[in-house]
Structure 1
Amino acid sequence: MLTEFPIPTPDSAPLDVTAGPDGAMWFTEFLGNKIGRITGAGDIAEVLIPTPDSRPEGIATGPDGNLWFTERAVDRIGRITPGGRITEYQLDEGSLPLDIALGSSGDLWFTERAANCVGRITLRGKLTHFAVPTPAGEPLGIAVAAGTTIWFVEGASDKIGRLHVPRHDRRRAAGEAFHNQRG
């Protein structure tokens, strides 16, 4: 049986959803500028992001028991506790963060479409950026495979990218991009 639950904020444009550490589902409200939480019973609570018009997009659960999300329009990564407290981390201006995923080492990985980078943020807020080898590749979606391999799509170049992060040196990474050789 499929059940739908109306979001309290009209025209909020929900974009992404993830299972939270508290058993609820958490979601982004792109136009509502909120992070939402829905229980299995359908009860919805919303938390307003302190930065106006931030356009939250991707969301992932971190190993710290918090939810991490991208703020597309203001170039930030946000963290919200299950209690609703939000902390924001500033990226470079114009980076356009979109998707976010939990890495096997406990860091969170995200795409920066306009900066043409894949980013990593530690639980303490330390940021590292890895340039995509294809100029203007526009990294969009991201996923983490077992071990230390990060996969992402390059929307403007029709490629899948793979980033290897050596376990012994977390400051360095090697990347490559794959595309269909058939015309």
Structure 2
Amino acid sequence: MSITEFVVADPGDGPYGVVVADGGVWTTLVRSGVVARIGEPGRRFDLGAPGSRPSVIVAGPDEAVWFTRNGDDRVGRIGYDGAVSEVTITGAPYGLCVGPDGALWCTLMNTDEIGRITVDGQVSTYPIGTTGAFPAMITATEDALWFTLNQGNAIGRMTLTGEVTTYPLPTPAAGPVGINAGPSGVWFVAIIAGLAGRITPDGKIEEFALPSGSKPHAVVATPGGGSWITLWGAGAIARLDADGNVAEQHNLGEDSEPHGLTIDTDNSIWTALEKGSLAHLQP
């Protein structure tokens, strides 16, 4: 596995989310209120709001990237034509995904809700039914949304009509954060307990131990039934096979602090490093 780094920001800017879209790689700079794109052409989009905290970024269904701004209660949009816009949604939006209905769905950390935003800017919110649960990341399957409850120590499932089922984790106070749906189930990681897990559509949960001190943050499922995970505490990225075993691990350097990650069309991996760069892992 070869690793190439692309510097996109000063270390204090904090690259956070990452997505491949429109022939380039996009990242949010959480500490400076900027979204950057590498590729041809490379561009920087200053949101004009340094405290906006752009975080999770996804490719939308409408020739645009969308991203949460949990510092100022907005979800932003940048069209592939360069047009920048935003939608206001109260509650500190953080996790974001495209739902099976073609809308954008986000977690609202401070209000214990899930938000829905259509591509034309219509907003709806749905309570998760648990107070103080701190919903974090969110992912979509063909019929539902799945999300981590960081302080609720559980995985939530919401139908497109807002019905919620909650599945407590076997490990107490695990601190689930990242989540991503794959062919073998929905993968998640718990940053406090240092574990990865997988939940099936009927709610069965398996947990898998990770190296001590790893503090896993984000996860993306692979076509083969496994997953890639950023090990924020260890400054590394790891691949788990379909049985939950650590198949490989790659160090990204001291103080790299990897956060978001995504799989490219060629199955290579991109991850955002808080030290100011994007790392590209290729076979």
**In structure 2, distance between residues paired with 1:90 and 1:128:** 12
Deviation at 1:82, TM superposition (A): 0.7
Structure 1 residues 57-76: aligned runs within 5 Å:
57-76=94-113
Structure 1 residues 82-121: aligned runs within 5 Å:
82-91=119-128, 92-103=130-141, 105-121=142-158
**In structure 1, distance between residues paired with 2:211 and 2:82:** 47
Percent identity over the alignment?
A: 38
* Bigger relative contact order (CA 8 A; separation at least 6): 2
For structure 1, the 5+ residue unaligned runs are 166-171
Q: Is the 8 A contact 2:53 2:69 kept in 1?
A: yes
Deviation at 1:182, TM superposition (A): 7.4
User: Residue 133 of structure 1: SS of its match in structure 2?
Assistant: coil
User: 2:215 matched to 1:178?
Assistant: no
Deviation at 1:123, TM superposition (A): 0.9
**In structure 1, distance between residues paired with 2:151 and 2:210:** 23
**Cα separation, partners in 2 of 1:133 and 1:38, compared to 1, 3 Å:** same
**Cα separation, partners in 2 of 1:37 and 1:181, compared to 1, 3 Å:** closer
CA RMSD of aligned residues (A): 1.6
Q: Is the 8 A contact 2:194 2:212 kept in 1?
A: no
User: 2:35 matched to 1:5?
Assistant: no
Give me the TM-score of the superposition, normalised by structure 2. 0.58
Q: 1:154 aligns with which of 190, 215, 221?
A: 190
Give me the TM-score of the superposition, normalised by structure 1. 0.89
**In structure 1, distance between residues paired with 2:100 and 2:211:** 38
**In structure 1, distance between residues paired with 2:171 and 2:63:** 40
User: 2:110 matched to 1:31?
Assistant: no
**In structure 2, distance between residues paired with 1:180 and 1:59:** 25
User: 2:176 matched to 1:139?
Assistant: yes
**Count of aligned residue pairs for this structure pair:** 172
Which residue identity is paired with 2:190? E
For structure 2, the 5+ residue unaligned runs are 1-38, 214-283
**Cα separation, partners in 2 of 1:173 and 1:37, compared to 1, 3 Å:** same
